[in-house]
Amino acid sequence: MVTLEFFSVLFSNIFLLGISFIICLFLLDFVKSKKKCSQFPPGPKGLPFLGNILQVDFTSPQVTFCQMSKEYGNVFSVQYFWKKYVVLNGFEAMKDVLIDRSEDIADRPRFPIFETVGYTGENKGIVLARYGNSWKDHRRFILTTLRNFGMGKKSLEETVTEEAQYLCSAFMSKKGHPFNPHYLVNNAVGNIICLIAFGNRFEYDDHKFQQLLHLFDAALKAESGFLAQIVNEFPILTNIPWLVDRIMEPERNVFAFLKEMISEHKKTWNPNYIRDFIDAYLLEMEKVKEDSSSTFNEANLLLITNDLFGAGTETTTTTLRWALLYMILYPDIQSKVQEEIDQVIGRERKPTMGDVLKMPYTNAVIHEVQRSGDIIPLAFPHMTYRDIEVQGFFIPKGTSIITNLSSVLKDKHVWEKPLQFYPKHFLDENGKFVKREAFIPFSAGRRVCLGEQLARMELFLFFTTLLQQFTFEIPSDQPRPMEDPCYAFTLSPKPYNICAVARV
């Protein structure tokens, strides 16, 4: 018969075991901290086990890092649990590493949370892929294919111009009444990627496509949140199904949509008639099917299509949302843009990319939207590909690097009014457009955004077409919208309504 004394001894042993375990954790934490190289970048002191994770505001981490840089310099370290990160701030540090030694930090760390949906081994798409031959081959293929489908050419320009007219028709249907432009703009931008990837566009009232856009939004918010960060630091947590489902359910639903699109393509695929990106990738798979070392496979096709759609839709949509917000907040700037449009393009002719060089003020406004909107403040973490030295600090191979792009776009040593929307940042004393070296909204180096050229085309053509046909105003019965952003990997404006008044 089990006695009270037995339970007493049992609980005592469990208690002692727990205390011993905690002491061991403290000792391990102490030993790990002592192993830090004396030349490693300094950083704020953290708590045992937790490190600095409670000191970082995950609703605006770029702001936290800018504040830390005032005390610890532009190259400093933070610790999430037992993992060290080096944070780069300011233009000089970023230029030194991202531009001058881009291969040194071209690698990527692990993201265990994404491994739960298929980003594993050599199948990691393009954004999360490790730096190596597979990544190089895929990046080369993607760039070539995008060019073949019109990136940088008149054919794709005409496609964007046509989609801009669809967007204007959707705005016109609001008849001057207040509306939130978010998903109409998202539809228009998403259709450009859909035409490249799938070979067709979707109507703005297509329920299935609207669901996809909302799923991408939900996935971005969940995957950039605090909970996802915890799981990435403790991969063992990926074994808890309900926890992973809470974070990755929207992503899985996106994958279900993309799998359906790929499946439909395979049924009608013709190697002699390549309709879109998926067809081109299937053809490449056919070419290398005898090569056992090739990573051109259906798993990577799914992941890369997801990467292209996510990266090619969210950032441009968010930039245009900022653009419309700034236009209603600064009507004098909107008027100057419209004046230049009227002088160079007129009210009847459709804008073309050939107009950019003749429209310095409009070009400056678009660039300032990107700078001030600060769309991708941190980007995905990099990882050192080899040992490097940055501003006198030693950073060993395999160290995760956070590039605080926000600190460059808001660097007070570079920009006259870094915290204001000020298009003159990109104009000289004669009113001519000036490209600033510190303007790196698409990042820089080996990991620079693949779709930068496409994004620039979309921003100019959508923006000028909208401002040619409409004047945007704050609804008379609503308060002035705020410029405070919402962080979910990207910095987006808080929801707002506009009135689109036709320029008759």
28 pLDDT more than 60: no
Classify the phi-psi angles of 199: left when phi > 0, otherwise alpha if psi is within -120 to 50, otherwise beta: left
The Cα 91–Cα 66 span in angstroms is 12
Confidence band, pLDDT 50/70/90 cuts, at residue 293: confident
Superfamily of segment(s) 35-502: Cytochrome P450 (1.10.630.10)
Q: Which amino acid is residue 209, in one-letter code?
A: F
Q: Which amino acid is residue 214, in one-letter code?
A: H
Residue 442 is predicted with a pLDDT of 87
Instruction: Select the more confidently predicted residue: 498 or 12.
Output: 498
Q: Which amino acid is residue 146, in one-letter code?
A: L
Which region among 79-83, 160-164, 308-312, 320-324 has the lowest average model confidence (pLDDT)?
A: 308-312
pLDDT tens track for 49-79: 889 999 999 889 999 999 999 999 999 999 9
- φ and ψ at residue 500, rounded to 5 degrees: -100, 105
Return all residues near 178 (Cβ < 8 A) that are at least 6 apart: 475, 477, 478, 497, 498, 499
Q: Which amino acid is residue 386, in one-letter code?
A: R
Residue 14 is predicted with a pLDDT of 56
pLDDT tens track for 373-411: 999 999 889 999 999 999 999 999 999 999 999 999 999
Return all residues near 465 (Cβ < 8 A) that are at least 6 apart: 161, 164, 165, 167, 168, 350, 351
154 pLDDT more than 90: no
Confidence band, pLDDT 50/70/90 cuts, at residue 34: very low
303 pLDDT more than 50: yes
pLDDT tens track for 81-140: 889 999 999 999 999 998 888 999 999 999 999 999 989 888 899 999 999 999 999 999
What mean pLDDT is predicted for residues 425-429? Answer: 95
The Cα 445–Cα 441 span in angstroms is 12
The Cα 174–Cα 376 span in angstroms is 31
What is the average pLDDT score of the chain? Answer: 89
